[in-house]
Amino acid sequence: MAGKTMSLRIDEEQARALEAAAMAGGTTVSEIVRDAISERIEQLRNDKDFQARLKRALERNREALELLAK
């Protein structure tokens, strides 16, 4: 799978828990993290409050970019 490589700092307890979960589940830490990210993105897509904040942020950014484009 082609994709972006990222570095993530987590505390030792989280690292041990992830490694144990991966080992017990017969998968990789990377796969667990990718799945968790996908689940969180889906939650945000379905969160009406988040979507309203996102739309306001998009509008602010659009306005700022239009000012620069003049």
CA distance linking residue 7 with residue 51, whole number of Å: 27
Rounded alpha-carbon distances, angstroms, from residue 3 to 28, 29, 36, 47, 60: 16, 16, 16, 26, 30
Q: What is the pLDDT of residue 70?
A: 83
CA distance linking residue 28 with residue 20, whole number of Å: 10
Tokens found for residue 41: 């993105």
DSSP state of 26: T
Stretch among 24-28, 43-47, 53-57, 66-70 having the lowest mean pLDDT = 66-70
- Under the banding of pLDDT at 50, 70 and 90, the label for residue 2 is confident
Computed over every residue of the chain, the mean pLDDT equals 95
Stretch among 29-33, 44-48, 63-67 having the lowest mean pLDDT = 63-67
